[in-house]
Amino acid sequence: MKNHLSNRIIASVMSLALTATAVPFYALPATAATPSIAVTTAKNVGLSQTMKVDSVYKGTFPEDGADSVTFKLSTSYSGQSFSYGFGCSTAEDPYWLELDKSGKWMEGGAGSKVEGTACKLDKSSSTITIDLKKAGIKPGGSFEFRCYYSAHWDNSKSDMVDNSVTLTGVDFSGGGSSSSSSGSSSTTSKNKKSGSWSFKDNKDGTATVSSTVTKQLDDLDYKLTVGYDEDYYNSKGEKITDELPINSHKFKYSDFGINETEGITIESLDVIVETDFDVDKFMYGCGTNVEKGSPADTEYAKRGIVEGKDDAGYWYNEMGEESREELEDAGVKFGIKEIGEGTTLESAGKWIECVWDVPAEVQKYQTTAATDSIGFQFWYGTKDASKYTEITEDDEVTITSAALTYTITKTIPYTKSIKTAIGKVLDCTASSDSKKNLEVDYSDLGIESDMKVYAIRFDVSAKKDVKKLVYGTGTGTTNASDDYWFQEPVNSVVLNAGKTAEIMWVLPSKVTGDKPEKNIVNPDGKIVFGYYYGESDSITVDNIEVYYDVVTTTTTTTTTTTTTTTTTTAPKTPKVTLWGDANCDGDMDLSDAVIIMQSLANPNKYGVDGTDTHHITEQGIANGDVYQNGTGLTSNDAASIQKRLLNLITELPESYK
C-alpha cells in the first residue's frame, strides 16, 4: 500500500472486490490497447447500448474538457462480474493513453502490459467513474469504453455464464462540462501551486523573493481508525500513544524539512489514503497550529465552556455544521466567521486523494515552528452506497503519502544576479548518479569569493509533459561540522510541471544566516540539482541564475566631542525555531537538557553571557522554555525534554503559563 503520489490514479468504481475462487480475471490483450477504428460513434446521452465481450463504446469529450467520466450500467444479475478497459486521446505525445488496472495511464500497442479492471456490478443500476484529471485528455477528443468480460454465476451449472449488460448513460464532470456526475474521487487545490515564484528588486540593496514549494513524503504507513479522536482519549483521561487507534495524524513541519518561523505561508496539504476495498463516501477534515488566542484559534474559544478544554488552544480545526451549532448554542464564540466543515468525496475508490487548502483567514495566524503541525482526520466513510455499509474500526484505512505546499517569502541582501546557459540533460531512470545530478562550480556560474549567494533559479525543460517533477538541491558551505555541505532534507516536487518549469530555490536561513557575515554558502564550492522522478525520463537544465550580494565595507574616522545619552530597551524574545532545541543545533536531543542544566548551575560559564564557547543563547532559552512556557528556564524544562525523548509525552511544549 506504499505508493507514490504521481503514479496511482485509480478509477472510482462502485463495486465489491472480486473473489478469486469464483471469478477468473480477464486481462486486456496487449495488442488491443490501441484505439479501435471500425466502431460506430454513439451519443453521450440517452444511451441503450448492449455491452458484451469485445463490445466497444466510442464517444467524445466535451469541447471544454472534463475532470471525470461516469458510465451508467444496467444488469439483470446480482453480483454481475464485469471487466473493462478505457482509452482516450491526449493533448500531447503519445496522443493516446490506456488506463491500467493499477490506476496508471500507460501507452498501448504491441508489447503493452496494460490490463483491464475487474469489478462487480449490483443488480439493476451501477456506475463506474474514471478520474481524468491526470490523463491530460484532449478536449473534444475521442475515448473508448470496452467490455472484456461479462458473466454471472449460475448455481445450476456451478460455473460462470457469459451475459451482457446495458450501457444506459455517460456523464461528464469538471472542465466546463454541465453534464451531471455522481461525485468526484478527489479535490484540487485552489491556493498557490508549486513552481510559482516572484522576485522584486527593492532598489535599496535588498530584494524580495518568493517561491512556492511542495515537499512530499512517500512510503508512509499511518493507520486511521474511525471513531477514535483526540477528544475521545481526553475525555477518558488517557494519553495518546502510537499504539492506540486514532482517526487522525499530525504531520510536523520538520517532517517536510521546514525549520523557518518567518516568511512561511502554508498553502495546502495533499494526503493519499488507501484501502483494500472500494470506498463509496469518504469524509475528512483538517487542522493546523495557529497563534494562541488568535481569531483562528477554534480550540481556545472553547476554554471555560467545554469540559476538558480549560487549557485548549494553539489550534484551528474544521468541524461539521451540527458540531459548530452545538458549540455556539453552548456559548462558544469563534473569532472567524468561515470555519471549514470538512470535505466529502463520493465514489472515492481504493486510492483516495484528499486535498485541503488552508483558508486565507487561517493563514494570517498560522505558526510554522519545526514542532508545529498540520493535521488530517478521517471522519466517516461508507463501502456500499446502496446498503449504506459504514467503514468501521476493523477496516484498514491507511495514509501512504503526503505532500505539503507552502510559499516562502524573504527580503534578502541583493546586488545583482548572473544567468548562465547550461544545457545539461538529466535522466531520472539512470543508474549513475552523475546522469541524475547536475554538479556545477559556483565559479563557473560567475560567482566570486566576495559574493554572498541567497537564491538560485533553475530553468528546466522536457520534450513531453513531466507532470510531477521530483528534484533535490544542495550547496557547498564553509561549515566543517556538516562536511562543508548542505542538502535540502526532503526532496521537492513541482506538481503539473508541464514541459517547462522555473524552479526558484530560496536558500534557508540555516545557510544564509541573518547577517551577511553569517552567510556560509561557499562561493568556491559547488551547486547540485538532481532529477529523481517525472513522467518524462529526461529533462534539460537550460539555465541557472544566481542571486547574490556583494558586501562593501566603508571605514570612517571622526574626531568629535559629544555628550551621549544612552537608552536601553529590553530586546524582544526570539521566536521559537524548534521546541526543545536549547543548544540551537537544529535537533532536539539529550544535549539540550544538558545545556539547560549547565546554564542554571554555572551561569558565569554557560549562561547567555557565559565564557564557554557553547554557552546558551537567547534563542536557546526561547526554544528550551517547554515547561510552563513563558516562565523562563528551570530544571523542569530539562525534564520535559527528557520525557519527550522517552515518549512519555507526545509533543513540546509540555504546558503553558
pLDDT tens figures, 74-106 = 887 766 888 999 999 998 888 899 999 888 899
Per-residue pLDDT at 324: 93
By CB neighbour count within 10 A (0-12 exposed, 13-18 middle, 19+ buried), where does 590 fall?
exposed
- The CATH classification of domain 571-656, taken from the options 1.20.1260.10, 3.50.50.60, 1.10.1330.10, 3.60.10.10: 1.10.1330.10
**Which residues are CB-contacts of 537 (< 8 A; sequence separation ≥ 6)?**
427, 428, 429
Q: Is 353 helix (H, G, I), strand (E, B) or coil?
A: strand
Over range 220-236, report the average pLDDT.
89
pLDDT above 80 for 633: yes
pLDDT above 90 for 530: yes
Q: Identify which of 276, 398, 284, 401 has the alpha carbon closest to the alpha carbon of residue 349.
A: 276
User: 284-340, pLDDT tens digit by residue?
Assistant: 999 999 999 999 999 999 999 998 899 999 999 999 888 999 999 999 999 999 899
pLDDT above 60 for 259: yes
Beta bridge partners of 151: 81, 162
- Cα 595 to Cα 224: distance, rounded to the nearest angstrom: 38
Q: How confident is the model at residue 559 (pLDDT cuts 50, 70, 90)?
A: low
C-alpha grid cell, residue 186: 478527489
CB 339 within 8 A of CB 263: no
Q: How confident is the model at residue 180 (pLDDT cuts 50, 70, 90)?
A: very low
Per-residue pLDDT at 35: 38
Per-residue pLDDT at 477: 97
Counting residues of the chain whose pLDDT is more than 70, the rounded percentage is 86
Over range 258-274, report the average pLDDT.
92
Cell 518549469 identifies what position? Answer: 501
pLDDT above 50 for 7: no
Residue 500 one-letter amino acid: T
State the greatest distance between any 2 C-alpha atoms of the chain, in Å, as a whole number: 114
366: DSSP letter: B
The CATH number of 415-550 is 2.60.120
Return the number of other C-beta atoms located less than 10 Å from residue 387's C-beta. Answer: 10
Over range 530-556, report the average pLDDT.
89
Per-residue pLDDT at 47: 57
- Cα 381 to Cα 49: distance, rounded to the nearest angstrom: 33
Cα→Cα distances 570→403, 566, 567, 573, 574, Å: 41, 13, 10, 9, 12
Per-residue pLDDT at 561: 54
pLDDT above 80 for 637: yes
Mean pLDDT of the chain: 84
Range of weakest confidence among 20-29, 318-327, 512-521, 615-624: 20-29
pLDDT above 70 for 179: no
Per-residue pLDDT at 574: 84
Sequence ranges of the domains in the chain? 49-173, 196-410, 415-550, 571-656
- Cα 96 to Cα 564: distance, rounded to the nearest angstrom: 79
| The model's pTM | 0.60
Q: Is 84 left (phi over 0), alpha (psi -120 to 50) or beta?
A: beta
Per-residue pLDDT at 140: 83
CB 43 within 8 A of CB 97: no
Q: How confident is the model at residue 166 (pLDDT cuts 50, 70, 90)?
A: confident
Half-sphere exposure of 420 (CA within 13 A, CB side): 15
Q: How confident is the model at residue 28 (pLDDT cuts 50, 70, 90)?
A: very low
pLDDT above 90 for 34: no
pLDDT above 80 for 161: yes
